[in-house]
Amino acid sequence: MLFQKMASHIVGYPRMGPKRELKFALESFWDKKSSAEDLQKVAAGLRSSIWKQMADAGIKYIPSNTFSYYDQVLDTTAMLGAVPPRYGWNGGEIGFDTYFSMARGNASVPAMEMTKWFDTNYHFIVPELGPDVRFSYASHKAVDEYKEAKALGVNTVPVLVGPVSYLLLSKPAKGVEKTFSLLSLLPKILPIYKEVISELKAAGASWIQFDEPTLVLDLDAHQLQAFTAAYADLESTLSGLNVLIETYFADLTSGAYKTLIELKGVTAYGLDLVRGTKTIDLIKTNFPKGKFLFAGVVDGRNIWANDLASSLGTLQVLEAIVGKDNLVVSTSCSLLHTAVDLVNETKLDDEIKSWLAFAAQKVVEVNALAKALAGQIDEAFFASNATAQASRKSSPRVTNEAVQKAAAALKGSDHRRATNVSARLDAQQKKLNLPILPTTTIGSFPQTLELRRVRREFKANKISEDNYVKAIKEEIKKVVDLQEELDIDVLVHGEPERNDMVEYFGEQLSGFAFTVNGWVQSYGSRCVKPPIIYGDVSRPKPMTVFWSSTAQSMTSRPMKGMLTGPVTILNWSFVRNDQPRFETCYQIALAIKDEVEDLEKAGINVIQIDEAALREGLPLRKSEHAFYLKWAVHSFRITNCGVKDTTQIHTHMCYSNFNDIIHSIIDMDADVITIENSRSDEKLLSVFREGVKYGAGIGPGVYDIHSPRIPSTEEIADRINKMLAVLETNILWVNPDCGLKTRKYAEVKPALNNMVAAAKLLRTQLASAK
């Protein structure tokens, strides 16, 4: 009974390893430099280490099947045998060839769509479903990993993506009516869930966790009823198991909460009490007697140390409602969204380091809170935590009065450019003299091993600044020459000086701190190292002007200045939680505004301010959309409101569903927007077919850069023709979906060559049709 009082739970854990071991193993396997057995060995070692770490920390409810070679939704697609026919799968256990073809495409067929996981920078592969899909139990991963942990002496809680969330996160396959009800497939997938559950029971599992995060969305009565129907159907199969339904990322509506607590066969409810603070009111009003509450009080989305005293107070309130034996201390969501271990950060400032907790430290926090709740408080640990909390609140390095004053002065203006976009485009065309269907790329070019070595050695003081600048200039010249050879119209410098588009800027802005190994998975093997915004933000000196000016001096063609926008810097950082996010965003916007104006003074006539993550930050609840979009769009406009009409402002967005915010995108008032399109089955174009008028320049991506596949000229021309059916010729740009840093030159050169050839083919056809 005492151990139940101290019960602790982790929703999920980072997979990549403290030094990105899985990333390197995956890339080695994809490059055919190592075998499947080598990859599986690395993965098994990481899983074993994670389970042991949690067990040693005293965690009672340790998850399994949260490890993935790509993402957990794709794992569920494999479990259900829902493989699109184009991958040629003929049944049986799904292997790496089919699995990675779905994720990345192959030489003959494109990958499945990839999109953002709710409002995070993590991505998942979107299932493609329809009435003719023949589901079958095709991946035994969940059971295999449970048995693997058990053999190591760790009895885990197997985690499955819940059946209703899986369907709600899916899309109708190509050729299936868009009105097709994905929830109508519930009776077809539940038999496979039953097989998995039965095998887990037979293997000895006593708990099972279903992640049903879609419960936090705005769901209608029909969608909520699907949860009721699904778990009623599963009830007899689940008999004998303790069943946890885990939700995260936001509050539950009263209707969703009522549906959740009335589900048949369910023992426990996991709730995010960090981003879902209003849910506590629902718990106070009605919590079912005898059920468990897995209280997510330790933040799985950020890296700030938990305020243990405050969390303990919340837990004590909850304990009085749900009962001493029925409260479990948990993380708010999977720790997948945070960095792995603060121990690996040997270069972080000691004061700032004392304010932080990465995944490994959060595991310790969860257990410390569980012990404290049971009356076994670690006085020294709590005292150290209180000291760090007080230090952060009072530290002078957090506050810059000049910055706060400048941000406060922004109120009262909407910061729009004085001239409308149509007039600006005319002025820009006179200056730039671009052909119709102008070609460009999104910014980055391949990051070769040699380039990474140069940056690494410069950071380690192993080469001089002169040698570093020389090497980067040589790389820029190579990229410029290649683009001129390919006859691309508006060039980029390739960003060879940048490892990451957000990290690069954060390193040069005040108020940011940086890690050495604070890697977080974005998708597949792609990891990012989010900066930490701990204080007020300002720009001490120009950040990109030297490199952009250097690149422009190498060509007579327009060279884009490349910046990351304030909303994306915000959404792709670990953001301070001691002031509203919009206040931090306005501070970043002012810093980027200074940079934009310096680029213009240096003769850069085209400036791209990427807002790849603007849609990602959209709150999950529609009632909160308007406020977010108002300050996010305003932040973007602040950055470029002072430039001349002849300076062309571009922005870029990718890998989200943009159709529902198209009017806010128009309100950004950029001159040109390039936007991901090809991997999402050209979903973006539907908004223009439905009558939305777009007067600025627009470049829906013509090919997917996250796949090694090289599209043909004919395929790209076909895509452009589809765009021309709904967009005016004089506003359409031709470009890839996203930056090219993750690709190899052997893929980039032929793909861009075909892209330019397609644009020229269409120009000829359009000219002859006049």
**What token pair was written down for 38?**
């080598």
**What token pair was written down for 23?**
């990333």
**What token pair was written down for 732?**
């359409």
Please give the full DSSP string across 597-660, using - where no structure is assigned. HHHHHTT--EEEEE-TTTTTTS-SSGGGHHHHHHHHHHHHHHHHTTS-TTSEEEEEE-SS--GG
Mean pLDDT of the chain: 94
- How far CA 297 is from CA of 167, 554, 619, in Å, comes to 28, 54, 20
Is 610 annotated in a binding site? The answer is yes
Residues involved in catalysis: 706
Is 754 annotated in a binding site? The answer is no
Position 1 scores a pLDDT of 30
Q: Are 676 and 612 in contact (CB under 8 A)?
A: no
Q: How far apart are CA 166 and CA 74, in angstroms?
A: 10
Residue 4 reports pLDDT greater than 60 = no
Torsion angle, alpha carbons of 50, 54, 60, 62, to 10? -20
Of 9, 108, 72, 57, residue with least CA distance to 521: 72
Is 583 annotated in a binding site? The answer is no
Position 706 scores a pLDDT of 80
What is the number of other CB atoms lying within 10 angstroms of the CB of residue 208?
Answer: 22
Which of 555-564, 620-629, 675-684 has the least mean pLDDT? 675-684
Is 495 annotated in a binding site? The answer is yes
Q: For residue 199, give the 3-state DSSP assignment.
A: helix
Residue 106 reports pLDDT greater than 70 = yes
Is 442 annotated in a binding site? The answer is yes
Residue 114 reports pLDDT greater than 70 = yes
What is the number of other CB atoms lying within 10 angstroms of the CB of residue 541?
Answer: 9
Position 3 scores a pLDDT of 35
Of 625, 611, 700, residue with least CA distance to 661: 625
Position 511 scores a pLDDT of 97
Residue 346 reports pLDDT greater than 70 = yes
Query: Residue 10 corresponds to which amino acid?
Result: I
Is 578 annotated in a binding site? The answer is no
Position 588 scores a pLDDT of 97
Position 770 scores a pLDDT of 73
Q: Are 257 and 281 in contact (CB under 8 A)?
A: no
Residues in the chain: 770
- DSSP assignment, residue 292? E
Position 676 scores a pLDDT of 83
Position 200 scores a pLDDT of 98
- How far CA 66 is from CA of 73, 337, 489, 585, in Å, comes to 11, 13, 45, 33
Residue 157 φ then ψ, to 5°: -105, 105
Q: Are 288 and 259 in contact (CB under 8 A)?
A: no
Give 753's contacts (C-beta < 8 A, 6+ positions apart).
486
Which of 70-84, 204-218, 354-368, 448-462 has the least mean pLDDT? 448-462
Please give the full DSSP string across 712-743, using - where no structure is assigned. -HHHHHHHHHHHHTTS-GGGB-B--SS--TTS
Q: How far apart are CA 184 and CA 191, in angstroms?
A: 14
Is 585 annotated in a binding site? The answer is no
Domain ranges of the chain: 7-394, 402-410+419-765
Q: How far apart are CA 132 and CA 185, in angstroms?
A: 10
Q: Are 173 and 128 in contact (CB under 8 A)?
A: yes
Residue 246 reports pLDDT greater than 90 = yes
Residue 2 reports pLDDT greater than 50 = no
| 526-539: pLDDT as tens digits | 999 999 999 999 99
Q: What percent of the chain has pLDDT over 90?
A: 89
Segment 721-730 mean pLDDT: 91
Segment 393-398 mean pLDDT: 95
Residue 734 reports pLDDT greater than 60 = yes
Residue 319 φ then ψ, to 5°: -60, -40
Handedness of CA 593, 594, 595, 596 (dihedral sign): positive
- DSSP assignment, residue 315? H
Q: Are 9 and 294 in contact (CB under 8 A)?
A: yes
Residue 407 reports pLDDT greater than 50 = yes
Segment 489-508 mean pLDDT: 91
| 610-622: pLDDT as tens digits | 998 898 899 999 9
Residue 132 φ then ψ, to 5°: -95, 0
Of 621, 611, 521, 605, residue with least CA distance to 563: 611
Q: How far apart are CA 189 and CA 166, in angstroms?
A: 10
Position 393 scores a pLDDT of 95
Residue 50: alpha-carbon gap to chain centroid: 23
Position 502 scores a pLDDT of 86
Buried b (16+ CB within 10 A) or exposed e, 617-638: bbbbeeeeeeebbebbbbbbbb
pLDDT category at 655 given cuts 50, 70, 90 is low
Residue 569 φ then ψ, to 5°: -60, -40
Query: Residue 249 corresponds to which amino acid?
Result: F
Is 526 annotated in a binding site? The answer is yes
Residue 690 reports pLDDT greater than 80 = no
Q: How far apart are CA 545 and CA 414, in angstroms?
A: 27
Q: How far apart are CA 770 and CA 758, in angstroms?
A: 19
Position 694 scores a pLDDT of 83
Is 667 annotated in a binding site? The answer is yes
Q: Are 113 and 125 in contact (CB under 8 A)?
A: yes
Is 23 annotated in a binding site? The answer is yes
Task: Please report which helix (H) or strand (E) contains residue 457, including its range.
Answer: helix 449-459
| 478-488: pLDDT as tens digits | 999 999 999 99
Residue 504: alpha-carbon gap to chain centroid: 18
| 751-762: pLDDT as tens digits | 999 999 999 999
Q: Which CATH number fits domain 402-410+419-765: 3.90.1720.10, 1.10.10.10, 3.40.50.720, 3.20.20.210?
A: 3.20.20.210
Helices (H) and strands (E) in the chain, counts: 28, 22
Domain 7-394 has CATH 3.20.20.210: yes
Common-topology check for domains 7-394 and 402-410+419-765: yes
Of 543, 560, 563, residue with least CA distance to 552: 560
Position 5 scores a pLDDT of 36
Segment 705-719 mean pLDDT: 92
